[in-house]
A and B are shown apart, each in its own frame.
Chain A
Amino acid sequence: MSNTEAAFDARSLTKRFGTRTVLDAVSFSISPGEIVALLGPNGAGKSTLIGCLLGFLLPDSGSSHMLGHDVREMPREARARTGYVPQTMGGFGSYRVGQLLRYLAAFYPGAPTPDSAWLSWAALDPKARVSTLSGGQKQRLAILLALQHRPEALILDEPVASLDPQARHDFMHLLSDYCTATGASVVISSHILSDLEKVCSRLLFMRRGVLVLDVPTTTFHAATRRLTPAPGAPADWTRLLPQALHVVGRDPGTNAALVGNWPDHDPAFALDNLPWPIRIERPDLEAAYLEITR
């Protein structure tokens, strides 16, 4: 992959199922080496977006490119540079673990042997029948299968949901090391925000099919604030905020607003012109997620 070629490039992706718009003009681009978190509640459109990114689903309008190729027409050589971990590992139940690893590895000619760190992390018996593995073991197998050919573009759809905390912790470290070593780009969807916060360089928030916020993780931490006005402030108090601040979420219960573009570098910046006292907090990802995707 050339340094300038985007690993993933979604352009105005729109997808409808019947009359329901599940993705609405979603656009973003992911550069080599980026690890991007795809965040949003159930039904936000994350799995549909992943389906479109991989070329499983055909968008009603817009386009999706992976490693510089339109995913609908991706040549075999380019597809061999990608990997995918599904939510649940289905199929291949009649294989033994070792048999399946060898069988699928054959479709990646010239690929290196599987990384021993990953094999040791997965801790799967090569002679075990796939159909007899537990849900977590199947998920480890799916991760091994997706990574054994060292992909440059990797999509993980809730890969850690059925892993135990130790396995999850180790997985995140290995993934981070893998990307540092190979320069691979990763899109990872998960509801375990604390894990994502540690490894992801960028956050994509989705709400009802719309990409509502696309922000680097460091910027998010530095320039996002939770502003809570004193009781008595009207619901539309945020219209009095300076133009530079961008409201990305609201909490109707407390009348608080989550704002971006906070000038963290300017210690003199204040909200003195508002008629009510404002409590200013640095939100953690979970609190911010709740307000952005509400």
Chain B
Amino acid sequence: MALWSTTDWRALRQYASPIFIRGNPFALTALFLLVSSLVQIASDGISREHHGANTSAMGISFAMSAIAAHYWRQVDNPIAPTVPGLQRSEYRAALAFAALVGAVLATLLFRSGATSGGAAAYVATALAFGSFVPTQRNGTHVQMALRMLIMLPIMVLSFVPSIQTAMLTLPAWIGWPVAVCAAAGIANALTFDRVRTTDAMARMETMLERSGSAPARRAGRDRGQSTNCLPATLSSSAGLAGEIAAPAGRFLAFLLFAIPSALVSAHGHGSTWHAVAPVVRVQVPLAAALSIMTSGDWLRHRDDWPILFATGFHGSRLNFARALTAAFIRRAVIMSIVNAVIMTGILAAMGSISIAMASSVGLAVASALFGASCLPCAIVLTGRFGSQGLVFAGAILGMILAAAACEGVCLGAEPRLPALLGSVALLLVGVLLLTATPRRLARTDWPLETG
């Protein structure tokens, strides 16, 4: 068998075509994060101690997630296992493209001052984490949640400058073994044997069990749980308690990962609370902004819309769009308040903000979070609602803006008026977007996900 066959080349060529980008929610985000962060590194160098956060690790992870997402949609469908050699070619192409991307990025970092081992370890680790995010379609909610948690260490790597610098300057004898282990992790994450056995089994079981389409069953289940006839992404079987618990859980889960990392990072500067506190403090606004990442899900996962609309529960298209928007507003308000309360509470307890300031800071943070969570609605207004990737990119942009606003309001230098004005501006943008969204949504085609 040839070392590299023509079908391997064909599979690899897909990555240089629009096929790779279309409907791939990670691709545009990765490009945006990588370009912005690498430009920053090229001008400032790799030492981030005095330059603040850099999102290169997130960008690298998202790049790998984009590769993995493309790979899985190629091999995880009913036809792929019957096409001889397709899965093998896709597997080899995904690994080859990941290696190419990794080599280019590691070289750029090396030329910007990283050690060779550090650059290799940094890039390979970020790639490895990103490779586990998208997997086959069938997965439990717990698996989905775990996938989200996988990204948390990468956020720490992106937003804690000292950890980033420490990793980029690792000596070769540590860096290269780390890189090799991470590369093995990538190869394992993309192993496709599972498709032929366990995943196919799950799919067949689903086929046997179903009495109607999956959206129909999901819609039926949701209708059973609540009487508001809303899509799965906007209804909660646990009611208000569930809606409060979800963002609070995300916030605390992030801190659970971030604080140990911060402690490790601060170890070199001493182990006292005074040394550790500044590093921990940086994590809190990031944890608050994390919830924004899922703020576009209600616009992306719409396979149950036709069935819910067809029930006639909401009447006209406009009323249906208004009901969806209202449900989203309710959810976004709860998320914003929960995150603002936890965040200001922690910062007040740490002495970063005074008790007197806590209410105004909390209000500003809630405003920023709410406004940022509305940014995916901008895609509806542009008429590109069909592009799930753009909606996701809007959510990521919102997350980055929210993180910057929260950090500015809570930890920025005096005077904080610009940061406060920024939060108010985000709120105003959000309100404007939400005002226009129902009418625009009612006048837009709702893409039918037909399998």
Contact = CB atoms under 8 A, between A and B. Distances in A.
Given A47-B204, A88-B451, A82 B7 contact: no
A62 interface: no
B382 interface: no
Nearest to A95: B19
B84 A76 contact: yes
Interface in A84-107: 84, 86-95, 99, 103-104, 106-107
A79 B88 CA distance: 14
Main secondary structure of the interface of B (DSSP, over half): helix
Given A47-B208, A57-B201, A90 B77 contact: yes
Given A106-B10, A135-B450, A88 B205 contact: no
A48 interface: yes
Given A76-B84, A107-B84, A88 B79 contact: no
B196 to A, nearest CB: 6
Interface residues of B, number: 36
A92 B81 contact: no
Given A91-B73, A95-B19, A86 B205 contact: no
A163 interface: no
Nearest to B449: A131
A17 interface: yes
B107 to A, nearest CB: 29
A16 B208 CA distance: 12
A79 B18 CA distance: 30
A26 interface: no
Nearest to B88: A76
A104 B82 CA distance: 11
A266 B401 CA distance: 87
Contacts of A134: 450
Interface of A: 17, 22, 42-43, 45, 47-48, 51, 54-58, 76-77, 79-80, 82-84, 86-95, 99, 103-104, 106-109, 129, 131, 133-135, 138, 142, 145-146
Would you list the 8 A-B pairs with minimal beta carbon distance, nearest first? A91-B77, A86-B78, A94-B22, A79-B84, A56-B200, A84-B82, A76-B84, A88-B451
17 contacts: A48-B208, A51-B200, A56-B196, A56-B200, A57-B204, A58-B197, A76-B85, A79-B84, A86-B78, A92-B79, A94-B22, A107-B86, A107-B89, A109-B6, A135-B450, A135-B451, A138-B451
Interface of B: 6-7, 10, 14, 18-24, 73-74, 76-86, 89, 196-197, 200-201, 204-205, 207-208, 211, 450-451
Given A94-B20, A104-B79, A107-B89, 13 more contacts: A47-B204, A55-B196, A76-B85, A79-B84, A87-B207, A90-B77, A92-B73, A94-B24, A99-B19, A103-B14, A106-B7, A109-B6, A138-B450
